[in-house]
Amino acid sequence: MTLVYPLNMPASPKPLDASIYIERNQTTVETFARKKQIHRNPGDRWIGKISLPPMSASDAADWLGFFDALDGFVGTFSMPHPDYHMPRGSALGSGLVDGGGQRGTTLQTRGWGVSQSVLFKRGDMLEVGGRLKRIVVDAASGADGSAELTIMPALIESPADTSPVIVTNPTGIFSLSDGFVAPTSDHLGHHRFSFAVEEAL
């Protein structure tokens, strides 16, 4: 059977430790007067490191097969943020992208429950166009069910009009930062994995 990317990660065990954050693609230039000038470039992305708990050789085999299927830097996989699977706002309705050609940190949407005063809270996660985004400003829906969402990282690819805005178990598309995962095992047969990830842009 041909591998089709992105792959799904093994369902268990859940990460023991995780550090997931946005890497900014910014440059700074300090002038002669020590005034710092900041240049924002496209390409902000999620990066991080995942550590899995000790597991049996049987459980580890599934993970080893998954890592090998990624074929180093070639393959990609879907991954949620380890800690945020549901919004804290109401997020009622079936949100859709409202209009094509959208880029940047503002996303126009529609299809939400009408007049929701706390549709999303700052820090809620969502998925749009296969990309994982974080709400950075509380959002409400209007009387017509529309909502303007302020998100990070910025959109560098425009999601299609009417694309769904996924708020339950949102995921992003990632790859292995190092192209490999080096497992360790002890005399009791416990296997451990730690691996670095980066969003596949």
Total number of domains constituting the chain: 2
- Are 72 and 120 found together in one domain? no
Residue 33 CB contacts under 8 Å (≥ 6 apart), including other chains: none
Q: In this predicted structure, what is the pLDDT of residue 50? A: 97
**Residue 154 contacts residue 104 (beta carbons within 8 Å):** yes
Q: What is the pLDDT along the chain (201 residues), one digit of tens a residue?
A: 789 999 999 999 999 999 999 999 987 777 777 777 888 888 899 999 999 999 999 999 999 999 999 999 999 999 999 999 999 999 999 999 999 999 999 999 999 999 999 999 999 999 999 999 999 999 999 999 999 999 999 999 999 999 999 999 999 999 999 999 999 999 888 999 999 999 999
Is 1 a member of any domain?
A: no
CATH number of 121's domain: 2.40.30.290
Q: What is the pLDDT of residue 27?
A: 79
Domain ranges, residue 122: 93-168
H or E element at residue 127: strand 125-128
Based on the domain organization, do 186 and 145 belong to the same domain?
no
pTM assigned to the model: 0.90
Q: Which two tokens stand for residue 136?
A: 């950075």
| Tokens found for residue 31 | 């002038």
Joined together, the tokens standing for residue 12 give: 């268990």
CATH of the domain at 191: 3.30.200
Residue 31's pLDDT is what? Answer: 72
For the chain, how are helix, strand and coil distributed in percent, rounded to 5? 5, 40, 50
Q: What angle do CA 166, 93, 201 make, to 5 degrees?
A: 20
Q: Is the dihedral of CA 178, 4, 24, 119 positive or negative?
A: negative
Tell me what pLDDT residue 64 has: 96
| Residue 102 burial (CB count, 10 A) | 20
Tokens 């996989």 correspond to what residue? Answer: 77
User: Do 194 and 163 belong to one domain?
Assistant: no
Residue 61 maps to a domain: yes
